Amino acid sequence: MSLSGKVAIVTGASRGIGKGIALQLGEAGATVYITGRTVQSHAGAPAPGSLNETAQEVERRGGKCIPVACDHSLDSDIDSLFERVSREQNGQLDILVNNAYSAVDSIMKARGVPFWKLPPTFWDEVNNVGLRNHYICSVKAAQLMTERKSGLIINVSSIGGLTYLFNVPYGVGKAACDRMAADCAVELKKHKVAFVSLWPGAVKTELVKKYVLDPMEARKKAGGSGDDGDLERSASRKAEVVENMFANGETVEFSGKCVVALAKDPNIMKKTGRVLLTGELGSEYSLVDIDGRQHLGIRSVKELLKQGGWTKTAEYIPQFLAIPRFVVNAYFGRF
């Protein structure tokens, strides 16, 4: 079953996960509107990639892609985007993927800085484009989808909604994305519109390469720094675990494969309101990443061992062995 005849919007698709989702949706036959601020690549951009490059790649794969310059911090730009889609597609919108996020650079530069030493405006920097705009886009999409009694809205979120990751505004924002999906799903259910939150695993995006993988390679080439004491070794070990996670992580298109599978699922309403993990969707829908690898998700014992650097031990662990959900809930539970 293809997505021919379906209309999708993917926000923040110049690069990274948004680009990967757009590529897979286009390849599956959907007409894909993509948004972002970088229409053409230019010197000084935070990372490679542009809307036009994404659109050209979709077209090369036989899909149809319409790039739309949109600053998601401006409500007027979002209004114009949905008005255009409604006008050009006769009110049809089948899939919205809320992925736009403008704070990756800022978050990486603020690593290790406690919230009280950051300006209060850092909250807006992290959660304006990445939370507020997701809500506005969802309102606009729901207005179209409820009229047709059909549709799928996806918030791209992360495990930061469950446990501390990066900083306070990031975690609160991701938790809010998950709660948005759950609460919007309650009101949308009778209109047969599904709303879910998607947690990718560690993903090898262009910015991850810049901030994590390239520095890791540089340190390896420079060699070890000798015995720096217990604290330094502990910090180094933690950094190594994170680096292994990303080095063995998903490509940007694996999330796209998951989105396509969800869009094709005739029983998608059974998942509405839930947090969905890409690794577990991969197992459910028998998905393989574009590099041929399987991803087993954060509950997989085998995957956790691999990401922690215990690759030899992981070879002896069966793929089906997973940490039960109630254990995860108990470990991270707050009540």
SS3 assignment for 238-303: HHHHHHHHHHCCECHHHHHHHHHHHHHCCCHHHHCCCEEEHHHHHHHHCCCCCCCCCCCCCCEHHH
Q: Check: CB of residue 44 under 8 Å from CB of residue 69.
A: no
Q: Is the dihedral of CA 13, 51, 135, 194 positive or negative?
A: negative
* Longest distance between any two alpha carbons in the chain, whole Å: 66
CA dist 198 and 177 (Å) reads 10
Say if residue 331 is exposed, middle or buried (CB neighbours under 10 Å; 0-12, 13-18, 19+). Answer: exposed
Q: Is 326 left (phi over 0), alpha (psi -120 to 50) or beta?
A: alpha
Closest CA to 236 of 128, 309, 293, 320: 309
Structure tokens at 301: 């014992």
Type of residue at 239: A
Q: How far apart are the first and last CA of the chain?
A: 43
Closest CA to 138 of 179, 85, 97: 97
One of 170, 211, 316, 331 is an active-site residue; which one? Answer: 170
Structure tokens at 146: 């409820």
Dihedral Cα 78, 82, 87, 92, nearest 10 deg: 170
CA dist 176 and 155 (Å) reads 10
Residues of the chain with pLDDT under 70: 1, 44-46, 207-217, 219-220, 223-247, 297-312, 314-323, 325-335
89: enclosing H helix or E strand: none
Specify the residue for token string 């989808």. 145
Summarised one tens digit per residue, pLDDT across range 81-117 is: 999 999 999 999 999 999 999 998 899 889 889 999 9
Summarised one tens digit per residue, pLDDT across range 29-65 is: 999 999 999 888 777 666 788 999 999 999 999 999 9
Bridge pairing between strands 95-98 and 151-156: parallel
The angle formed by the CA atoms of residues 18, 133 and 164, to the nearest 5 degrees, is 75
Closest CA to 240 of 222, 221, 215: 215
H helices present in the chain, as ranges: 16-27, 51-60, 75-88, 104-109, 121-127, 133-148, 168-188, 206-208, 214-222, 230-247, 252-264, 278-285, 301-307, 311-314, 325-332
Residue 170 appears among annotated catalytic residues: yes
Closest CA to 30 of 63, 56, 61: 63
CA dist 241 and 263 (Å) reads 34
